[in-house]
């Protein structure tokens, strides 16, 4: 595992506003949108140095279903936007971990 990042640096990374509550929700056993996103990106997030722990099963499908249940017409676009935000966090975290 990569060295842990300075906790103060996490909050400056794009997407942290989703990752932080996602980690808390996973710890509490809640299947929320942020928790599903962290589950999707768990391997890259952990490789960058942030412990994720237990993840939710089939997070991609569950995330899409959750979004579609709320608003089927916008589910696809919202899903893609959330995944892009997750990838932004992963890339930034990886870049910080290699410094």
Q: Are 34 and 21 in contact (CB under 8 A)?
A: yes
> Sign of the CA dihedral 13, 24, 52, 67?
negative
Question: Is the model more confident about 5 or about 88?
Answer: 88
Give pLDDT tens digits for 37-88: 999 999 999 998 889 989 999 999 999 999 999 999 999 999 999 999 999 9
- The Cα angle at residue 30 between residues 73 and 95, in degrees rounded to 5: 80
pTM, whole model, 2 decimals? 0.90
Domain edges within the chain? 7-97
Which of 31, 83, 80, 34 minimizes the C-alpha distance to 58?
31
């Amino acid at each position: 595992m990569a060295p842990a990042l300075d906790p103060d640096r996490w909050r400056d990374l794009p997407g942290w506003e989703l990752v932080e509550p996602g980690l808390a929700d996973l710890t509490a056993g809640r299947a929320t949108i942020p928790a599903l996103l962290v589950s999707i990106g768990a391997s890259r997030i952990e490789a960058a140095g942030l412990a994720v722990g237990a993840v939710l099963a089939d997070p991609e499908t569950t995330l899409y279903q959750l979004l579609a249940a709320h608003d089927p017409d916008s589910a696809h676009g919202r899903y893609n936007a959330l995944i892009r935000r997750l990838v932004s966090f992963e890339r930034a975290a990886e870049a910080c971990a290699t410094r």
